[in-house]
């Protein structure tokens, strides 16, 4: 299966900008941006981000308010805050041996940076990779990481996999199966997440948010400062 997968990938790989670098900072930026966001939406934002802040030191020295402004539209603003906090630590102390000690870096993101940048023999398992592994029951080594991600994103998709186009179909025990829809995240429209996002956007454009509950939640996450009833952006 591994041979068939790599042959397929050689012909069908997605040309994504973070696949043209081994800079751990650039890989970290891409992985944080890609959390719950489609690659097509991430590409222009990733390129603009690295043009503005090409190194961890540059991001660490940036005003947090500007970081949050640049992040708008990618969702989950805490990711931007964690990314800048991680940049602070890297700029001050270098890359730690255990990447999960960096703010906002969990086991998957750590594995991705290790595999794609540092050349360590670890297979990062995101939702797409996990789907292929579970359906095929096969074992793949870390050289297959990007191929597994592309196969899961474009062929071995969640509900109705495209088995007719799959290079692994001949030996796959799940060939031809259909799957129930996964439980979807609660709608953004009308949610508290939307209220939080609206409050932060108002502050970023210089207005005063009128949603005290949302502002309090943003302050608890460190996304805004709230002192004696006065709300402001972090430094």
- Residues involved in catalysis: 31
Q: Which long-range contacts (CB under 8 A, 24 or more apart) does 180-188 make?
A: 182/158
Cα atoms in the 13 Å half-sphere on the side-chain side of 175: 11
What is the distance between the alpha carbons of residues 179 and 159, in angstroms, rounded to a whole number? Answer: 5
How many angstroms separate the Cα of 191 from the Cα of each of 135, 178, 231?
34, 31, 22
The dihedrals phi and psi of 232, each to the nearest 5 degrees, come to -150, 170
154: its two tokens: 């474009």
231: left (phi over 0), alpha (psi -120 to 50) or beta: beta
What is the distance between the alpha carbons of residues 132 and 199, in angstroms, rounded to a whole number? Answer: 40
Q: What is the DSSP string of 138-192?
A: ----GGGHHHHHHHHHHTS-SSS--GGG-TTGGG-TTTT---PPPPPPPPSTTSH
């Amino acid at each position: 299966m591994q041979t068939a997968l790599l042959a397929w990938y050689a012909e069908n790989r997605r040309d994504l900008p973070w696949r043209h670098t081994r800079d751990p900072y650039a890989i970290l930026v891409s992985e944080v941006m890609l959390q719950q966001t489609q690659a097509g939406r991430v590409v222009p934002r990733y390129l603009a981000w690295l043009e503005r802040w090409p190194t961890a030191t540059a991001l660490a020295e940036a005003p947090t308010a500007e970081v949050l402004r640049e992040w708008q539209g990618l969702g989950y603003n805490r990711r931007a805050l964690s990314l800048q906090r991680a940049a602070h630590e890297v700029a001050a102390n270098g890359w730690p041996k255990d990447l999960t000690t960096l703010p906002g870096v969990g086991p998957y993101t750590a594995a991705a940076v290790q595999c794609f940048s540092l050349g360590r023999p670890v297979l990062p398992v995101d939702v797409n990779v996990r789907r292929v592994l579970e359906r095929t029951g096969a074992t793949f080594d870390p050289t297959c990481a990007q191929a597994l991600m592309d196969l899961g994103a474009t062929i071995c998709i969640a509900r109705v996999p495209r088995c007719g186009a799959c290079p692994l179909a001949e030996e796959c025990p799940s060939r031809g199966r259909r799957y129930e829809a996964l439980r979807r995240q609660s709608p953004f429209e009308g949610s508290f997440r939307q209220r939080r996002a609206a409050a932060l956007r108002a502050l970023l454009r210089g207005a005063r948010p009128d949603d005290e509950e949302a502002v309090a939640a943003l302050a608890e996450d460190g996304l805004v400062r709230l002192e004696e009833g006065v709300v402001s952006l972090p430094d």
